[in-house]
Structure 1
Amino acid sequence: MNPSTGTEHLSAHLQQQKQKLRNALRQEYWKKITKPPTDVYGETIFDPGHQRYVSMNATRSKNFRPTAWNGFLFFAMFVVPFSATVYMFKKDRETREALLRSGQVAYKDRNYKFI
């Protein structure tokens, strides 16, 4: 007997059970959403999937585990762009100031004048 046959059968069985549960929850949700209004107008429908999502977002910081990949993403998305922007502005300002101080730009051609 092939050892993988047992796991394939178990996996297929679990997938069938999961599909049955998914279909039952879908039918229950559609039954609640399409029923005529009862005595309470605007009654909200409790969706367990949405509640799990909201709860996960509320406790995301408690379950965060720092990893090397997280550190790399932080560095790539925040540190590098911020540093590049600061460097670009600083270099542009120093170049412009050097031109103004050396007299290569006439006063009438300057963007920012006191008069």
Structure 2
Amino acid sequence: MSGEQYDISPQEKRLIEERRNHRMKMKAQWQKLVSDPHSHKHGGYVFDPAMQRFMSMRVTQYESFRPTLGNFFRGIGITAIPILLFAQLMHWDRTRKEKEFSTGQVAYKDRLWKTYR
């Protein structure tokens, strides 16, 4: 094969190669920083300002939280409603099984839980 690709243009292929080369250079620079034992001034790790900003944001996000009506309904929708729906489904299923057991539609030997009632 001659190495031609028919699904991308030469311009796109050149851009892909440039991005690949940039990633490889950044990876080599990171490996150089991590593996040099004399360049660590911050207690044995490479100080990354972007990572520090991200971690600081994660720690202080609750200090800037404002309780609003939308946040309240979002919290209720994520936590309480699924729990209540699951409890109601369990209740309906248990009631249905209890009715089948008490009316004799399911024999005792066919029940999954023999100690049930």
Q: TM range, normalised to the smaller chain?
A: 0.5 to 0.7
Higher helix share: 1
- Opposite residue 58 of structure 1, the aligned amino acid is V
Alpha-carbon distance between aligned partners in 1 of 2:61 and 2:69, rounded to the nearest angstrom: 18
Unaligned runs of 5+ in 1: 1-29
1:47 aligned residue: 48
Cα distance change, pair 109–40 in 1 and its aligned pair in 2 (3 A): same
2:4 aligned residue: none
Once the two structures are superposed, the pairs formed by residues 13-92 of structure 1 within 5 Å of their partners are 33=30, 34=32, 37-39=36-38, 43-92=44-93
Q: CA-atom RMSD, angstroms?
A: 2.8
Per-residue CA deviations over 1:70-99 (Å, capped at 9, x if unaligned) read: 112112211111111110011101110121
After TM superposition, give the deviation of residue 112 of structure 1 in Å. 1.7
Paired residues in the alignment total: 85
Per-residue CA deviations over 1:20-68 (Å, capped at 9, x if unaligned) read: xxxxxxxxxx6x7445725367942211121111111112222211112
- Opposite residue 89 of structure 2, the aligned amino acid is M
The DSSP-based 3-state class of the residue aligned with 1:82 is: helix
Structure 1 stretches of 4+ moved >6 Å: none
Larger relative contact order (Cα-Cα within 8 Å, sequence gap ≥ 6): 1
- Opposite residue 66 of structure 2, the aligned amino acid is R
TM-score, structure 1 normalization: 0.60
Unaligned runs of 5+ in 2: 1-25
